[in-house]
Structure formats: structure tokens, C-alpha cells
A and B are shown apart, each in its own frame.
Chain A
Amino acid sequence: MTRPESVPALTDALREVGYLADRGLATTVHVALSLDRPVLLEGEVGVGKTEVAKALATVLDRRLIRLQCYEGIDTHQALYEWDYARQMLAIRALSEHDLADDGSVDALFGPRFLLERPLLDAVHAGDGAVLLVDEIDRADDEFEAFLLELLSDFQITIPEIGTIVAERPPLVVLTSNRTRELHDALKRRCLYHWVGFPSAERELEIVQVRAPGVSLALAEAAVAAVHRLREMDLAKPPGVAETIDWVQTLEVVGAEALEPEVASDTLGAVVKDRDDLEQVREDLGWVTSGA
């Protein structure tokens, strides 16, 4: 397992797998790897928070374990669960004689009947994994408190089996869309980085990396248009993911330049709110050409 030794090395390695990290993000990840701290990424929708974890998994040659959070997620879905149906069948299959034997009963609560969920999986994998806890703000605060405990010592206790400790903790990346404020205690455990919209030059680079084969002129025009859209006070400003989508859409419909007609037809790839669409359509000439 190779680990980039410095911030520039990490940036280059990420670039090789198609992720352009800025200096701040690369430093944060580098520090996280060196200090074994989790990283908390907050930022607008579609600026590549989740992509970071995927790229890191590739760069570090680790397995990506993803835990998508949602309201009501609890330990059974995040940590482990016993396979009750199979246990039930196994009990029925045991004879009177078998039940007298402790071993066969113990086996009922052995690894065979344990369903590993992402967090337990990550603790088992240790530093062979990148654990992505996606959209932590969607889970409720009870889950956050539970996660806090796990993130501080990376050990899980299963009463029937014992305590499982990760020898070297996995790299943990948490993402949040800021639908609610996370607890300070959780933030304190993590390294914090705000992922903002990239500058036009960088976004153009990103587009070229993610959508190779699109003409430079078209990509430039699309990126410039997206930046004008972000200036426009829209309810939902387009993210980088939308820019890439749009450029790819333009390519699919065979556009050679960003004409207002083509832009109008493909606007759905980049503006995803009805009121915004109307607002943009009124100003389409300015958006596409800047004049």
C-alpha cells in the first residue's frame, strides 16, 4: 500500500485518477492520513464531496466502504445484524441432544450468522479501507452520537462475540450538505474542510478530465455559462456535477458551439428548478455568450 508522502504528491496522485483537488483539500486529507483523523467535508451540492472518497480509495489502493445515511438509520443497518431467519431455521434443525451441547448453541451466535454492515466491515478492514459516511446530516442526532463513539476508538463490541478493534483505523470521510448543524463534539473529532465551487480555470480542467473528447471551445463556453448562472441568484445554483452533465449532454446532441437554441434545449441538465428555468430562459443570450 503506497501512501503519498507529501501534499503535492497526494495532489498528483489524485489527479492521475481524475480528481483535481485544490491545495486545501489535499492538505486536509494529507493531515488526516498522517494523524488518523476523520475528515468532514461540507459544501454545496455537486462539488465532488463523495468523489473525493472514491478517488482516495483508488489512490491508496483501499476498498471503499460506503454508508449512505438516511433518517432513522440505526445500528442494525450501520453496524451488524444477526441473521434471524437462518438462526431460527438452525434452531429447529438442532436435535434435543445438540441443544445440550454448548458448542452448537454458541455457533448460533457465531460469525456464520452475523451480517456485517458497513461500519463493522470498516473496523474489520482497518487501514485497508476508506470509509465514506455519506450525507451524515440526513441521519438523526442519535446516530451522530453513536458515530462519535465509533470514530474515537474504532472498536465495536458485540456482546456474543466480543470486542473487535481496528489495529489501524480506516480513513474516514464524512460528507454533509448542511441541512442541519452537526454537533460540535463530532466536528471536534474531525478535520473540517469546506468544499466551494472551483474557479473557472479549475472547473475547465475538471471538465476536460471528466469528459474527455469534448472540444475545448465548447467546454470553455459551457464553463463560462455555468459561472454566469452561479452569479444569477438562482434558487439552486448548478454544481460541478451539473457542468459535467451539461457538457456531456451538449456532446450527445452534437452541438459544436453553445448557441442559445441548443442551450435552451439542454438546459434541463444544468438548471433543475422550474422558477430558475424561467429566469434563465429570459436571459439566455447573456448566459450563453456573456453579452
Chain B
Amino acid sequence: MLVGFTTELRRAGLTLGSGDVLTYCAAATVVDVTDLVDLYWAGRCTLVTRREQVPAYHRTFVSYFLGEPGDSRGASPFSPVVRAQALAMLTLPETELLGEEQQEHAAEMGYAASRASTAKAKSFAACTPEELAALRRILRTMQLAPPRRRTRRTTPTRHGRLPDLRRTVRESMRLHGEPGSLHRRRRRLRTRRLVLLLDVSGSMADYSRNLVQFAHTSSRASNRTEVFCFGTRLTRITRELEHRRPDLALDRAAAAVTDWEGGTRIGACLDDFVRRWARRGLTRGGIVVICSDGLDRGDPALLESAMQRLARLCHRIVWLNPHRGDRADFTPDTLGMTVAEPYVDELLSGHDLASLSEFARVLARMP
């Protein structure tokens, strides 16, 4: 029966290996199995590895173990009374309803903000195959090298500031206690984290396709890249882009970004990003790249406060605005852009391949 439950969970989208199932069964033996609440928690602590999976687990559990009496799985060993008690106890605490409800709420907000919001998934397949192939060839040759910073880890070196006692003592041991030369270490360098925030709303749809391609190449270049899409709301697509084949990754990103070509609420999305990700330390010491035209339908004050906070939480902010084009004397033309500009360290265009390679150059030159 437990194995049946895990099969059901897999259907609900949880990744479970047979090892996990074994652990789950072992856990079930140490709790009181006739107590449904214990069974619930035993499964939840062994099978769920991410907070986002909790609602799916909860739903599956309720339908599998507490399904209507007399349904196809009539062999349920629990009496109606036990089930009623368990149902009463297993209400999800309010703070854990991160999943769908919040998303639905966000979606409603989105509709309110922009009449143009269509919230439908747009297939990347709309790119012609020739276009895609050509783009990919070129993008693949572009090496994105985010700047590096000194870490607290050290590495042996000839001229460093820190003494390497371990090696020095080892050597002097070999020399029977005669002090040898002093070995040294220096602090290691590490690439900064790169966080891409891509606007995929209607006004930016033409560019977003290239940019998702670009984001994919970037995330392949270094595993310290995080990618987010925003329009009427914010979606993290890093995990979708993890799949090795770009086509697959693009398909998945399309599925995740459901507000494709809806309106833009940059302020609200950035604010959301700052609250949910940046404050937790995602951007600390990192480079944040925002790609948007700055056409914001929300409150400019919100955008300003979000930018201000973001600027304090990261190392550098780069803004790619395709409307800038090749003009060097570009002045911000949208309200959102004007509000955000003081907090932006580099303003580039990113409207074609040449400007994307310029972006890569600027990135490498950054301190």
C-alpha cells in the first residue's frame, strides 16, 4: 500500500528513487502506522525534499488515504472515524500555502494590473528551426565570463600573503626539523554569481526569445547563474534551464512562464524578487542583469524602492534595454527607466548579437 502511495506521488510530480521509498517504508515501521497523522508526517519528512512539493504531497495523501469510502480502493484499513479525525488535523497551516493559492492570487493581481494580460504559455517552437540553429551556433561561441571576487578559501601559491603552515611543517619534517622555506597561500578567486531577470512581456516578446537562449548559454557557462522571468509576475526558471538540451530547456521555460506576452509590472516583480530571493542572499556579491524596456504599468514608487533595495543587496546592476539601440547618447524615455536609472551601474542595449557580445565584454571588465 505504501509503495502504491509513492507511485501516486510520482504521478503528482515528485521525484522519488527506490531508495526514498525504502526509507519511507522504514520510517513507517517506527511510527504508529494506524495513526494517519503519523503516517502523513513520516511520508512528508522522508519523501518531500522541497517546500514547493508540500502542497502536492498533501493533496496526494488526502486523496490516496482519505479518499471517499467505497471508491475503487475500498480496502482502506482506516475507519471513517479515524479518517475524519485525521482530516481535521491535517489542515495545512496557513503559512505553508505557498503553492497554487499564492500564484492564483498573483495571477488575479496581474489581470487587474494589465488588461493585456493573456497568461497563456507561448511555445518557443515558433522560432523557425533555421533561426534557432543559427542563433545557437553564435551564442555558443560567446563565453560569458562574470567578474571574479576573492573568496575566503585559500590555495597554495609561490607569492602569497598567508603562510602555509601545513606545507612548511611537512617539509621541515622531511628535513629532520631544519626549517625549510616558508610556503605560502593566497585567497582563491571565484566568479561572481550572475542573476538574470528577463522581461518576457508583450513589449519585450521579440527579444525574450533570444534572451532565453542567451540565458541558457550563460547558465551552461557557469553553474552560478540564476535565471528569472517576469511579466505580470515573477517566475524562476533556473531549474527548467538545467536540462542539458536547450530545446528541452526552452520547452520547459515556456511551460513555466505562463504570463507570456502579458502586461509588465516591473516594480511589483522586482519587489517580489527582492523579498523572496535577494533578501535571502541570492544576489549578495553578485551581478544582477535586468533586461527590460522599463515600460512599467505599476506604481513607479514601488519600482524605485525595489531598485534601491536591490542595489544594496548586490554588487552591480546591469540593465539591458533594447530600445537604447546603438545610440550612445541614449536618455531614458520611459518613466520606469527614469526611476530605475540612478541605481543602474551599466546601461546597455542587448537588442542584437553584437550588443550581446558587448555585454559579455563589459561583464568581463567589471571589478
B-binding residues in A (CB < 8 A): 6-7, 23-24, 27-28, 30-32, 34-35, 37, 39, 42, 70-72, 74, 82, 84-85, 87-88, 91-92, 94, 99, 105, 108, 137-138, 140, 142, 177-180, 184, 187-188, 191-194, 196-197, 199, 230, 235-236, 275
Query: Quick check: is B172 within 8 A (CB to CB) of the other chain?
Result: yes
Bound-state Cα–Cα, A57 to B94, Å: 30
Using known A-B contacts A188-B49, A197-B95, determine if residue A235 contacts B44 with beta carbons closer than 8 Å. Answer: no
Query: Contact: A71 with B42, CB < 8 Å?
Result: no
The one of A137, A177, A191, A230 that contacts B46, using a Cβ cutoff of 8 Å: A191
The one of B51, B95, B166, B176 that contacts A82, using a Cβ cutoff of 8 Å: B166
Q: How far is the CB of B82 from chain A (nearest CB, A)?
A: 15
Using known A-B contacts A31-B27, A87-B169, determine if residue A196 contacts B38 with beta carbons closer than 8 Å. Answer: no
**Closest A residue by C-beta to B93:** A196
Query: Quick check: is B75 within 8 A (CB to CB) of the other chain?
Result: no
Q: Which residues of B contact A194 (CB under 8 A)?
A: 51, 54, 96
Q: Which residues of A contact B49 (CB under 8 A)?
A: 184, 187-188, 192
Query: Contact: B26 with A30, CB < 8 Å?
Result: no
Bound-state Cα–Cα, A24 to B27, Å: 13
Q: Which of B314-343 contact A (CB under 8 A)?
A: none
Q: Which of B125-162 contact A (CB under 8 A)?
A: 151-153
Using known A-B contacts A179-B281, A187-B49, A192-B48, determine if residue A235 contacts B172 with beta carbons closer than 8 Å. Answer: no
Q: Which residues of B contact A192 (CB under 8 A)?
A: 45-46, 48-50
Q: Beyond A84-B166, A235-B279, list 12 extra A-B contacts (CB 8 Å).
A: A24-B44, A30-B30, A31-B42, A34-B27, A35-B26, A72-B151, A91-B172, A178-B280, A191-B45, A192-B45, A192-B50, A235-B275
Bound-state Cα–Cα, A219 to B297, Å: 43
Query: Contact: A235 with B165, CB < 8 Å?
Result: no
* Chain B interface mostly: helix
Query: Contact: B279 with A7, CB < 8 Å?
Result: no
**Closest A residue by C-beta to B165:** A84
The one of B23, B45, B173 that contacts A108, using a Cβ cutoff of 8 Å: B173
Q: Which residues of B contact A34 (CB under 8 A)?
A: 27, 30
Query: Contact: B169 with A27, CB < 8 Å?
Result: no
Q: How far is the CB of A92 from chain B (nearest CB, A)?
A: 6
Q: How far is the CB of A271 from chain B (nearest CB, A)?
A: 14
Query: Contact: A27 with B95, CB < 8 Å?
Result: no
Using known A-B contacts A7-B32, A23-B41, A188-B20, determine if residue A92 contacts B51 with beta carbons closer than 8 Å. Answer: no
Query: Contact: B151 with A71, CB < 8 Å?
Result: yes
Q: Which residues of B contact A39 (CB under 8 A)?
A: 45
**Closest A residue by C-beta to B39:** A27
Query: Quick check: is B19 within 8 A (CB to CB) of the other chain?
Result: yes
Q: Which residues of A contact B44 (CB under 8 A)?
A: 24, 193
Q: Which residues of B contact A35 (CB under 8 A)?
A: 23, 26-27, 30
Q: Which residues of A contact B77 (CB under 8 A)?
A: none
